[in-house]
Amino acid sequence: VAPVHKIYANDPRFSVILLANNVGKRKAQIAAIRSSSGDLVLNVDSDTILAADVVTKLVLKMRDPEVGAAM
């Protein structure tokens, strides 16, 4: 964690959340979502490979007020 934290610590686009212990993926994601400030949250795994246009497509789907989540 330390090398990654040092790289992004001074970048205002990132916020590093250090948890007291290994709480597992689900609780770590909940902590991240609770401290997020954007309108949308995208959760991915460390081995996820996203197509270049996937974020744009998801955002367009989320513009529909009837949509609560998009995949």
Q: How far apart are CA 6 and CA 68, in angstroms?
A: 35
One digit per residue, the tens of pLDDT, for the chain of length 71 reads 567 788 888 898 888 888 888 899 999 999 999 999 888 899 888 899 999 999 999 999 999 999 988 88
Torsion sign, CA atoms 20, 38, 13, 51: positive
Residue 67 lies in a domain: no
Q: Domain tally for the chain?
A: 1
Residue 68 lies in a domain: no
Q: Are 50 and 44 in contact (CB under 8 A)?
A: yes
pLDDT score recorded for residue 1: 56
Helix ranges (DSSP H) in the chain: 2-8, 25-34, 54-62
Q: What's the domain range around 49? A: 2-62
Q: What is the pTM of this model?
A: 0.67
Residue 26 lies in a domain: yes
The residues near 20 (Cβ < 8 Å, ≥ 6 apart) are none
24 conformational bin, left if phi > 0, alpha if psi -120 to 50, beta if neither: left
